[in-house]
Amino acid sequence: MIDTTIPITNFIRKNFVPATIENAAYKCTNEEFLEVLFSTFPKDSIDTYELYNILINLNYTPQKETTADGIKTVWCFNNIPC
């Protein structure tokens, strides 16, 4: 299997910046963000554990969001301005 950790890390670094839950343009669970990545990279090229490590290394912080279904952990993103 091809190691896609570096290309995925670079993709996130080039297209997103960390945000707070209050000002995020995007709030995604691990699974939701993996689906976003898999629209660009091969499906199942990374798993939840690898995604977590990538985002932590890029200074993202998992945050708690309260929804009608309860509390869920999300990653918060903003696009990098052009």
pTM: 0.87
CA 6-62-69 angle, 5° bins: 125
Residue 16 belongs to domain spanning: 5-74
29-38, pLDDT tens digit by residue? 999 999 999 9
Does residue 34 belong to any structural domain of this protein? yes
Q: Is residue 80 part of a domain?
A: no
**pLDDT digits 0-9 by tens, 6-34:** 999 999 999 999 999 999 999 999 999 99
In a domain, 13, yes or no: yes
DSSP E strands in 1-82: the ranges are 16-18, 26-28, 63-67, 70-79
Count of C-beta atoms within a 10 Å radius of residue 73: 10
The count of domains in the chain is 1
Residue 17 lies in a domain: yes
- Residues 6 or more apart from 18 whose CB is under 8 A from it? 58, 59, 60, 61, 76, 77, 78
